[in-house]
Structure 1
């Protein structure tokens, strides 16, 4: 099973699927594939079935009877029996799927599985019965059944706790968005500055370039503004409503008002629970449920402060949502009427830099530290990379740290591998280094981390002063620009 040439990246995911579907062991097996919409799950699973001669079925929003008829018709076309297959229940369907693997390993994909369970909640229990450990139909089969779904909150519960399928699956594969480096390659953008600008708008979702924008990429930095107005802000573009659809597609997000308000609060710089509560006009304890639902849906992430265990920061996981709430939502009536689109984008320049581009740059710097930093700049592979806040009792202020890399704790204290500051538009100088030195000293006095070998990192999208470059040569500070972030230095 060689990965087809039209499947971009996804080497790890393809290898996991290949091992699963070509396993020669006796006994039918079950796998779960999940991920937000438009990440290429269906494309990848269809390619697996084509490569291994398997069966692929994509469920629709329909009644249980119609879904049974649809899969019966699909199996009839695939197996070509003498008499068309018209199943009376899902037990009969599963028996046919298990018999397909009687002679060899056969991949079977049921895509959009949550649609089926929504109208027939007993389906996971029916599957549990079909996959009973000593059931002869299972033990004599080598069917490799893959259940796929985009509703992350549902898929996350499918194998958890006391769920019927708990312990039945031998593969649990999430299909995540492309990383910022992979996204630049997918968009075929060589200029790191342009790549980060594009990433701050559309992130790493593959379909935003293919089906949604039809390969319309900015030709250069001088075309970026025109690209934003024609590809995202224009009501004629499929991307125009995409951020609103991301919420509508999640079945657990029933009260759109509170979820939109929470996302808007985060997009406007309120990452802490108290700040979000004040912004939306609710008490902090009333936000536990909406925050958990948004996190389960993969729309926000929860991050514990590196230096204050009682503080949690929430960040929007999908850049397009940040762009929508910071740039589009304030002018939604005018944008919907296609009124002054260019003027709105021009008017939003400050919010674009401070609310969208700057925070996205900081997140990319954290991703770099987590994935690539140990290759050249850090002494070891971090086990955790996050942000943090440090109290300064002498100056009576709080220092915010953009990048905190923590190593594995072999002894009583974990090593603090690095402290970093990220500035998108600022040329960084000795003042930034002095601030990091001060923070390192404060953290050292706290005693929580071992700071003996802590490195100081300066990330900049605009460059560094000559004095700071000289300090790098002395070995105390590491300077990381856009070229290194994107692996071009």
Structure 2
């Protein structure tokens, strides 16, 4: 099966889906596809189904009886039957579905939005498990059944623990968001600084490029502000209310106001549970459940500190949510009135730089250090990149490290390969380098770092001439700007 020309990237996902679709053998096989909303899962599965001449059913949020009726009608159309199937229960429907490969060759069957069906019919996973049981295979044909859903919490439990389908799947594919480099290519933005600013607003979600902005992308640095006003802060555009809908569409989120408040606290710069609780005026123990749920549905991440095991940080996974809570939510009343967006955007510039671009720039720097930097950049093989906090007992303070690169040195020993600082709006100079040297000294005293631990300076604005001259003569000092982040290294 050739990948459709209009499909951007997704080479790995396409290869895995087509491999599964053409698996040899006479028995039915199960695959599970999941991922956050708007990532193109349905587009992928529809393309595979069309290429294989298979059957695809997209569920809706309705009753069991109505779902069975819709499924029977869709399956009858696929089989070329003049009258629809009338299934009394899902046992009948699944058995009939697993007979569609009656020619003996593998056939693809996709059930999209599977959580909707399982919500109305909780026994459905058990029904599928029973139909896939080796003892029932004599009634089946080589159907390659793919279950797809965006409810990450539900899809994650589908194959875990004592779930009925655990151990039954031959494919478990998660469709991720595009990383920052792929997102820039997808948006066709060639200026690195503009690409990073755009990514800080919309991240790597493919649907925001086409369906939600009608392919309206910033034409360059001078067009970015106008693009935000016309495409994001415009109440007539779909992207304007998308952040609100993201939470409303998650079935696991019941108290939407509470979850928005938690996200607002994190967007304001509160990364620890205690800080989030203080921001909301609640006890820290009260937030264990909402934080866990937000993590399960993929809205936030929980990352361990690079140096202190008893510390961790919560971060919003979807940049649009950060942008909404930092910039849009405080001025929502003004933004809903046409013509107010330019003034709101002018007032929000400082907040945008500090609460949106700054944290996103740090995250992109960590992603670059982990996945894109050339092998000799860090002086070893990278195994983990994280942010961290370093104590300074003599000064009675602590220092934040934006990028800490852990890995293995050339001799195979575990080592702290590099530490780095990321400043989006500052021209970095010798003062920033001295700070990193001081932190390296503190870490060396505790045995965490060595004199060979490299120092990385990440800047969205540039570097002084003195710092550039030092870096030219010293490979342990690395200077990284947007051009290098988005370059070939």
* Fold match by TM threshold 0.5: yes
Counterpart for residue 329 of structure 1: 329
Task: Check 1:71–1:137 CA distance in 2 against 1; reply closer, same or farther (3 A cut).
Answer: farther
Q: Which moved more, 1:311-320 or 1:81-90?
A: 81-90
In 2, the alpha carbon distance for the partners of 1:273 and 1:411 equals 39
Q: Displacement of 1:339 after TM fit? A: 5.3
What secondary structure does 2:436 align onto?
helix
Deviation at 1:427, TM superposition (A): 1.0
Shift of 1:374: 4.2
CA RMSD in angstroms comes to 1.7
Equivalent residue, structure 2, for 1:226: 226
2:455 aligned partner: 456
Matches within 5 A, 1:66-85: 66-81=66-81, 83-85=83-85
The offset of 1:433, in angstroms, is 1.0
| Secondary structure, counterpart of 1:407 in structure 2 | strand
Instruction: Give how far 1:399 is off.
Output: 0.4
Q: Deviations over 1:297-336 (max 9, x none)?
A: 1000000101111111000000000000000011111111
413 and 280 in structure 1: CA distance in 2 versus 1, 3 angstrom threshold: farther
1:35 aligned onto 2:35: yes
Aligned residue number for residue 423 of structure 1: 423
In the alignment, structure 2 segments of 5+ residues that lack a partner are: none
Aligned length: 487
TM superposition shift of 1:467: 1.4
1:162 aligns with 2:162: yes
Alignment of 1:48 with 2:43, yes or no, is: no
Structure 1 unmatched ranges of 5 or more: none
Is 1:108 the counterpart of 2:109 in the alignment? yes
Measure how far apart 1:25 and its partner are: 2.6
> 1:476: Cα distance to partner?
2.2
SS at match of 2:381: coil
| d(CA) in 2 for partners of 1:247, 1:136 | 41
Match of 1:122 in 2: 123
Q: Distance in 2 between matches of 1:144 and 1:469?
A: 57
Q: State how far apart, in whole Å, the 1-side matches of 2:127 and 2:414 are.
A: 47
CA deviation vs aligned residue, 1:31-55 (integer Å, no higher than 9, x gap)? 1101111110000000001111111
Measured in 1, the distance between the counterparts of 2:196 and 2:214 equals: 20
State the Cα distance separating 1:488 from its structure 2 match. 5.1
- CA deviations over 1:146-190 (Å, ceiling 9, x no partner): 000011111111111111111111111111111000000000000
Distance 1:261 1:413, change over 3 A: farther
Q: 1:384·1:406 contact (CA, 8 Å) conserved in 2?
A: yes
Cα 1:82–1:334 change in 2 (3 A) is: closer
Aligned equivalents of 1:409 and 1:71: distance in 2? 57
Give distance in 1, aligned partners of 2:428 and 2:160: 47
Question: 1:213-292, aligned counterparts within 5 Å?
Answer: 213-292=213-292
* Corresponding residue number in structure 2 for 1:360: 360
Q: Is the 8 A contact 2:453 2:476 kept in 1?
A: no
Offset from partner CA, 1:181-224 (integer Å, 9 cap, x none): 00000000000010011111111111111111110111111111
For the residue of structure 1 that corresponds to 2:110, the secondary structure is strand
Structure 2 CA distance, aligned partners of 1:231 and 1:376? 41
Task: Tell me if structure 2 keeps the 8 A contact 1:194–1:221.
Answer: yes
Output the CA distance in 2 between the equivalents of 1:381 and 1:19.
31
- Counterpart contact for 1:39–1:175, Cα < 8 Å: yes
Q: Distance in 2 between matches of 1:147 and 1:381?
A: 37
Does the 8 A contact of 1:416 with 1:453 survive in 2? no
Q: 1:75 to 1:304 in 2, by over 3 A?
A: same
Q: Distance in 2 between matches of 1:248 and 1:97?
A: 32
**Hey, what's the Cα distance between the residues in 2 that align with 1:164 and 1:16?**
24
